[in-house]
A and B are shown apart, each in its own frame.
Chain A
Amino acid sequence: MSDYKHIGKDFVPPDITGKVTGKAKYAEDFRVDGMVFARMYTSPVAHGRVTNIDTSAAEAMAGVVGILTADDVPASEAPSAAILTNTPAYIGDPILAVAAEDEKTVEDALAAIKVDIEPLPFVTDPLDSLVSGGPDAREEGNVYSRSREGSGFKTVKWTSEQIDEFRAGKEPTGEFVNEWNYGDLEKGFADAKVIIEQPFVTTGYAHMSMEPRTAMAYWENGTCYVHGSAQSQSFWMPGLARMLGIEVKDLVLISENTGGGFGSKISAYPIAGLPGYFSKKIGRPVQLRVTREQEYYMGSARVGFQGWLKMGFAADGRATAADVFIIEDIGANATGGDASSAGGAISLVYDPASMRFRGVPVLTNTTPRGAQRGPGQNQIAAAMAPVMDKAARELGIDRLEIRRVNAVNNDTTVNEDQGPVTSAYMKEALDKGAVMFDWENRKNKAGQKGSKVRGIGIGQGYHSAGANGFDGLVRITPNGKIHLHSGVGNLGTYSFASTTRAAAEVLKCEWEDCVVHNGNSEANLPWNSYQAGSVSIFTQTRTNYVAAMDALEKMKQIAAETMGGEADDYDIDGKRIFNVETPEQGMSYGAIAARAIQLGGAYSGQTWPEDIHEITQRSVQNLAGSGLIGVAKDNLPRDGVIPGLACAFVEIELDLETGKYEILDYVGIAECGTVVHPQGLAQQMKGGAVWGMGMVGLERHVYDPQNGLPANVSYHQCGIPSYLDVPSVTRTGAVDIPDPQNPFGARGIGEPAMGCSVAALTSAISDALDGHMFGRTPVSADMIINHVTGGEQSFLPLQTNNF
């Protein structure tokens, strides 16, 4: 690793100066001549049917330019979200949009629109829908299951006795719709010395990206230009084009900077298509401004869990069996899948010898759900950590040790199919963290001073962290510059740039000679993966590697063709290619690029590999003749789950009188293969730590069950952590052992960085309260006080989305 010139080294990302000077442009910072302003009329009821829309008063207002309704946009089949709908399924579901010359007029017009809606039954807590006689969130049913065998609505009802028993912490006996398993579960529990059963709730909560999803669009000569808040760049293109009813070649997406995504902006979301349709209808550029309140109504949110788990452990702490049942709150649009991922995370992180997963995805009339940082893996981290602690206590072994003996390693098999991992060093991560945290000394220092008790916790995080099959594109121009074309979205991780350093590494060039192209599909970008699932580092270092290797091979061929000999006679360094035997015989990168243009063909992009994506093909076509083109699809071998892993150690001081706790120390260790960008990794680990602290103690949805109203629609109401909620210093480290399936040994980390924090903090809270398990996130001060004083909690067991 130390031999690398760029990998593992910090650098100044090309976009950061714009971020500190205010010059960085986000979607709403763009305006064009003739642009009008659009606003949405959103549903005031949780479920209903629009019976009449009267826009006459609005349309009569001077300055109003148009109205867009569900009739103007493609219909979508329930439960999928439409751009606009006449059958709203949650409060805030967009019904229509109005556009006007200025923002005051558009607000006035919005207020003058009358919409009649016939209300329908609604539900905000999955258990209220699952119980016999309970309302269904959709007329088609209350459950929507997605599977390879087929997807569809179902109506699933449990008896009130079954619901009551589930609330009482017993194994659910009601109908389930998803199941997978491996191993002999019965034998696993028979082999166990200790068996722990635990019901749990993890409440959903909003993504709360700082930048609302404002978008602007206009048309020129049949091409739609969209300024959007996108988490991914190239990956958005096919979906957005499909939504707009156009070909990918007729779409330009500009998303230079995105103010956070966290899973909510992975692919083009429905309202990203609204300005395009509106602009086409009225013949003017349209900016749709989305307000902070609207972000809470229709933004997106983490899937909530109501579940039950049972774990068996042998005398040495090895997990022998895991049985998990999860009812997941998938909102009105059936977006989720978190529950099965949670099961997968149990199989990988705790490696039980046998396992069963069962689930019921239940529709609710709440904010649409979506993948949110570690979807499933990070909810289950909260439920699992105290269970591991309890097992350790009952077995009389150290809480660190029970995690070490079950730690995922190179031989671990995972998920339903019990497939391999590319590599895994969780034990090494735990050992490194234990040393940094001084676990051995601190674990024996628990105690109480006055009303303050200390708790220490350990947690582990995981997410599969890589993909393959995408394209890379690099270009060397006659002025000697190396152009690194990145189709990676700029959501704040700097991976759009840090992954291009893989190409700079192969080409042995100076970073100062590199130009990164990104953030605008007109910048000729390659087909790259989604910026989600912690995949970018693994996936796009591979694409940059294969593109740079293609460029290198072409440089050698051109050198041989120009200076004689064979391609293999040549090597590169110091911005030139030279004959290894006679190093004085060589050409500069600029000269090679000029020669590539003269020779044409594949050297300068006149031809390209057949297997690259149409987006990459078009970029190569546009760049043809401008330099030496390196372009390739990532066909490198890949076999098994690519695990992004992390662990954390935390110490808290909890006040038994106030129920509040302070986080005194936090150590997070990344196990993500080779470290590509140390500062960026630290940012992810520390930001992930903050996210975990938010989930465990602060963040939640609250709905008024009488009216289906979201009760918290601002940052502070929803519990976004501030400076004062988290420690001012968090410590991080990395294992830094290369993964064999990445040319540089790298894997991703963004999501496990949070999961380890979730687990460690729940573990520490439990430790401070003598091993008490709340089985719930968030853990509020009220809950702690009620527990300490022996009082009742203010909600039903397993109730969710509640006050």
Chain B
Amino acid sequence: MNPQLSRRRFIKAVIASSVASASYTGLQSANAQDSSSGVVERLISLNINGRTRRVDVLPQETLAYTLRYKLGLTGTKLACNRGDCGACTVIVDGITRYSCSTLTHSVRSLEVQTVEGLQSADGTLHPVQQAFIDELSPQCGFCTPGQIMSTVALLNENPTPTREEARQALSGNLCRCGAYDHYLNGVMRASGQNS
């Protein structure tokens, strides 16, 4: 390698690394749009876990941002904030969605379910939550809410999946601890097939 840095190379480096200083917040399009444009109504109603929530939402705000920072539903996790890992998975009208990559305004008329909406009012855990405890599925737990939401959506559609079907259905949820085997055990137990 040539140790001499040419001016051209230096400029190229700066251009190429502009992403290095760009940070994603959940308002990632905030800088591209003026939030004061006023075209979109900001005070909207959302259906979150069966309850209507009135919330002030910027036009470019993601659902993960709204859930975590406007509604205090911090069970939905942000690990990559770019649709790469599934930690922010929620269920929208029965379908799993990466909430980091979903604009809040796009779910205004839809039913949003988060991990906080699974437990019964009397405190009884959802069968998936209980199965994940029984199988010691989580390790660090950061990806767990996403794994749970993907499992709930799977079992709603397919109550007795094969292990391979579960593996495919959860493949959009990364786990750095590598707890995949224990998560699949949890899915099988939750579906009444044990493991």
Contact = CB atoms under 8 A, between A and B. Distances in A.
Interface of A: 10, 12-13, 15-26, 28-29, 39-46, 91-92, 103-104, 107-108, 110-111, 119-123, 125, 128, 133-135, 208-212, 257-260, 262, 289, 291-294, 297, 491-494, 679-680, 682-683, 686-691, 694, 704-709, 713-716, 720-724, 726, 728-730
Interface residues of A, dominant DSSP: loop
A44 B21 contact: yes
Contacts of B135: 679
Given A45-B10, A713-B19, A686 B178 contact: yes
Interface stretch (B38-46, B82-90, B104-112): B82-90
B121 interface: no
A91 B20 contact: yes
24 contacts: A16-B133, A19-B138, A19-B144, A20-B133, A20-B145, A22-B75, A28-B78, A45-B13, A104-B31, A104-B35, A122-B5, A209-B142, A210-B143, A257-B141, A257-B142, A260-B139, A492-B177, A683-B139, A687-B178, A694-B178, A706-B13, A721-B178, A723-B180, A728-B167
Given A210-B142, A292-B82, A679 B171 contact: no
Given A20-B148, A134-B1, A259-B79, A210 B17 contact: no
B81 A292 contact: yes
B182 A683 contact: yes
B79 to A, nearest CB: 4
A34 B179 CA distance: 38
A494 B177 CA distance: 13
A715 B20 contact: no
B153 interface: no
Given A15-B141, A293-B22, A720 B171 contact: no
A16 B138 contact: yes
Give the top 4 A-B pairs by smallest Cβ distance, nearest first. A22-B75, A690-B178, A492-B140, A259-B142
Contacts of A20: 115, 125, 129, 132-133, 137-138, 144-145, 148
Contacts of B75: 21-23
B141 A492 contact: yes
Contacts of B84: 292, 714-716
A493 B177 CA distance: 9
Contact of A134 (B3, B77, B141, B180): B3
B116 A21 contact: yes
B131 to A, nearest CB: 9
Contacts of A292: 24, 79-82, 84
A257 B177 CA distance: 14
Interface size class of B (residues with CB under 8 A): 35 or more
B27 A210 contact: no
Given A22-B145, A210-B79, A707-B17, 12 more contacts: A17-B125, A18-B141, A21-B119, A22-B73, A26-B77, A104-B35, A120-B5, A135-B3, A208-B176, A211-B77, A687-B178, A706-B12
Interface in B160-181: 163-164, 167-168, 170-171, 173-181
Contact of B180 (A46, A122, A690): A690
A372 B1 CA distance: 29
Contact of A493 (B4, B22, B76, B139): B139
B6 to A, nearest CB: 10
Nearest to A717: B84
B112 to A, nearest CB: 14
A544 B170 CA distance: 39
Interface in B85-123: 85, 87, 114-116, 118-119
A291 B23 contact: yes
Given A119-B10, A260-B142, A680-B136, A723 B171 contact: yes
Contact of B74 (A29, A46, A104, A687): A29
A22 B76 contact: yes
